[in-house]
């Protein structure tokens, strides 16, 4: 027998035998019955979970197939011709589960001549929008092209559109040059998250993802009881140094892990750190502004402007590690002080004096000021931070 009938029969046997068996013997039978039930129930729950996972995968597969069929039909029915149409067909062909752009597609996008009609412009925007190309200030740049596609506007390709068009193609070529060595490219956020999320608790885990015609659906882990660090701080006004140290060190571990995988996050701030309230584990999230790590300076900014280092504001370039250390200094200040050190859009001067609460330990104050050194060469390295007395909870005399 299987299922509840088996339990009922066995328990009924125990009840019938209690007149002949000792109380101890009956209790042993009950315990054995309980173990058996627990084992069967665990197996049943595991089977149900497995079945639900398979059902979810099948639904996602059918949804993807339906989307691709609609996309292909739309492309075939469109009146777009020339290079723009070729790019659309390339996009349809590569939406077969491989999750890559062939070099042929990126070459055609970067070699495309300026659009001569609204349809061509729309096709170009669809081609780059589908893959979420890593373009700095994407919305602001692309909006100039969307202007010429409006129904109320006549098609007019001016200097502003030409500049935006050239910048977009340049950024695509740059991203492909930095991409995987096999000559393919995938949505950059997915590539970066895939490189750093597996097997490391300090980065949010990417469970599944699906490409839609104009969006990417990402299925990410989320602890049952969790809160982003910004709201975690606000609920307490500010964090004690002990709590801040524990969380800040975890963020440093996550940054070091990303660095070891050749990934630069570029948008470290409280909103992008998730705290598991049950375990205290901090997780770095949102790699949408991330890029590949490089030794040379970056000349394009991505991230939150209020966390950008002074060398970007004043000189228009920054180095990956130095900019990260600057944002970590702002993060630590927000943890222990409850507010951004350069709030309300206030510009940072080269001779700025950072005032800190006297309640903070000298070691904590020194670390914040060190991270927020105006010259990038004066800031600590990531490994310097791990050796810092405050991080190691060493109080200097």
Is 397 domain-assigned?
no
3-state percent helix, strand, coil for the chain, nearest multiple of 5 = 55, 10, 40
Output the pLDDT for position 99.
Answer: 38
Output the pLDDT for position 74.
Answer: 41
CATH code assigned at 250:
1.10.510.10
Considering the domain architecture, whether residues 109 and 178 belong to the same structural domain is answered as yes
Is 236 domain-assigned?
yes
When divided into structural domains, the chain yields a total of: 3
Output the pLDDT for position 127.
Answer: 66
Output the pLDDT for position 235.
Answer: 96
How does DSSP classify residue 278?
A: T
Output the pLDDT for position 55.
Answer: 76
Q: Record the tokens describing residue 282, joined without a space.
A: 């901090």
Kindly give, in sequence order, each residue whose CB lies less than 8 Å from that of residue 206, ignoring residues fewer than 6 positions away.
190, 193, 194, 197, 218, 219, 220
How does DSSP classify residue 115?
A: P
Cα 336 from Cα 244, distance rounded (Å): 7
Is 336 domain-assigned?
yes
Cα 255 from Cα 244, distance rounded (Å): 16
CA distance to 2, 12, 51, 67, 165, per residue, from 37 (Å): 11, 15, 21, 45, 66
Considering the domain architecture, whether residues 234 and 93 belong to the same structural domain is answered as no
> Tens-digit pLDDT profile for the chain (397 aa)?
444 443 333 333 344 444 444 555 656 666 666 666 666 677 777 777 777 777 777 776 666 555 544 444 343 444 444 444 444 444 333 333 333 455 666 677 777 888 888 888 877 777 666 544 555 556 667 778 888 887 777 888 988 888 888 888 777 666 554 444 444 446 788 888 988 988 899 999 988 877 666 667 788 888 889 999 999 999 999 999 999 999 999 999 999 999 999 999 999 999 999 999 999 999 999 998 999 888 889 988 889 989 999 999 889 999 999 999 999 999 999 999 999 998 755 556 555 678 899 999 999 999 999 999 999 999 999 999 999 999 998 765 5
Is 192 domain-assigned?
no
Considering the domain architecture, whether residues 178 and 269 belong to the same structural domain is answered as no
Output the pLDDT for position 359.
Answer: 96
Contact 301, 312 (CB under 8 A): yes
Considering the domain architecture, whether residues 158 and 48 belong to the same structural domain is answered as no
Is 107 domain-assigned?
yes
Is 194 domain-assigned?
no
Considering the domain architecture, whether residues 118 and 211 belong to the same structural domain is answered as no
Based on C-alpha coordinates, what's the Rg of the chain?
28
Considering the domain architecture, whether residues 120 and 210 belong to the same structural domain is answered as no
| Domain stops at, among 154, 186, 218 | 186
Q: Which residue among 17, 194, 228, 267 is the active-site one? A: 267
How does DSSP classify residue 154?
A: P
Considering the domain architecture, whether residues 375 and 257 belong to the same structural domain is answered as yes
Output the pLDDT for position 88.
Answer: 41
Output the pLDDT for position 278.
Answer: 95
Please say if 267 is a catalytic residue: yes
Q: What is the DSSP string of 180-230?
A: -TTS-B--HHHHHHHHHHTT-TTB--EEEEEE-SS-EEEEE---SSEEEHH
Considering the domain architecture, whether residues 182 and 283 belong to the same structural domain is answered as no
Which range marks the domain in which residue 31 is found? 4-61
Considering the domain architecture, whether residues 160 and 299 belong to the same structural domain is answered as no
Is 340 domain-assigned?
yes
Is 222 domain-assigned?
yes
Considering the domain architecture, whether residues 217 and 301 belong to the same structural domain is answered as yes
Output the pLDDT for position 167.
Answer: 80
Considering the domain architecture, whether residues 48 and 159 belong to the same structural domain is answered as no
Output the pLDDT for position 250.
Answer: 97
Considering the domain architecture, whether residues 137 and 250 belong to the same structural domain is answered as no
Output the pLDDT for position 110.
Answer: 75
């Amino acid at each position: 027998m299987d299922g509840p009938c088996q339990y009922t029969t066995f328990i009924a046997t125990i009840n019938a035998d209690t007149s002949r068996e000792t109380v101890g013997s009956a209790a042993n039978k009950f315990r054995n019955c309980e173990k058996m039930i627990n084992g069967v129930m665990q197996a049943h729950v595991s089977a149900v979970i497995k079945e639900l996972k398979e059902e979810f995968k099948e639904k996602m597969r059918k949804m993807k197939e339906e989307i691709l069929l609609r996309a292909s039909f739309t492309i075939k029915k469109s009146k777009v011709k020339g290079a723009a149409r070729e790019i659309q067909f390339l996009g349809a062909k590569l939406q077969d589960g491989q999750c890559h752009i062939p070099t042929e597609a990126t070459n055609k996008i970067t070699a495309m001549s300026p659009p001569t009609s609204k349809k061509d412009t729309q096709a170009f925007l669809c081609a780059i929008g589908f893959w979420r190309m890593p373009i700095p200030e994407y919305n602001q740049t692309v909006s100039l092209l969307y202007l010429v596609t409006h129904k109320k506007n006549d098609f007019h390709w001016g200097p502003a559109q030409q500049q935006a068009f050239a910048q977009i193609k340049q950024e695509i070529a740059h991203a492909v040059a930095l991409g995987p060595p096999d000559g393919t490219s995938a949505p950059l956020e997915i590539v970066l998250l895939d490189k750093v999320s597996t097997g490391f608790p300090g980065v949010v885990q990417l469970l599944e993802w699906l490409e839609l015609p104009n969006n990417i659906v990402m299925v990410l882990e989320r602890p049952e009881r969790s809160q982003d660090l910004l709201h975690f701080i606000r609920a307490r006004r500010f964090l004690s140094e002990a709590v801040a140290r524990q969380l800040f060190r975890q963020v440093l571990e996550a940054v070091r892990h990303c660095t070891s995988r050749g990934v630069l996050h570029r948008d470290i701030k409280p909103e992008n750190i998730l705290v598991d309230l049950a375990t205290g584990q901090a997780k770095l999230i949102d790699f949408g502004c991330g890029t590949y790590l490089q030794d040379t300076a970056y000349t394009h900014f991505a991230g939150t402007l209020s966390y950008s280092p002074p060398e970007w504001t004043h000189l228009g370039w920054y180095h990956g590690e130095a900019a990260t250390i600057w944002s970590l200094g702002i993060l630590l200040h927000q943890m222990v002080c409850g507010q951004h050190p350069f709030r309300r859009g206030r510009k940072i001067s080269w001779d700025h004096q950072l005032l800190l609460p006297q309640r903070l330990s000298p070691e904590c104050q020194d670390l914040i000021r060190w991270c927020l050194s105006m010259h990038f060469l004066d800031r600590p390295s990531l490994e310097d931070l791990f050796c810092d007395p405050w991080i190691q909870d060493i109080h200097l005399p």
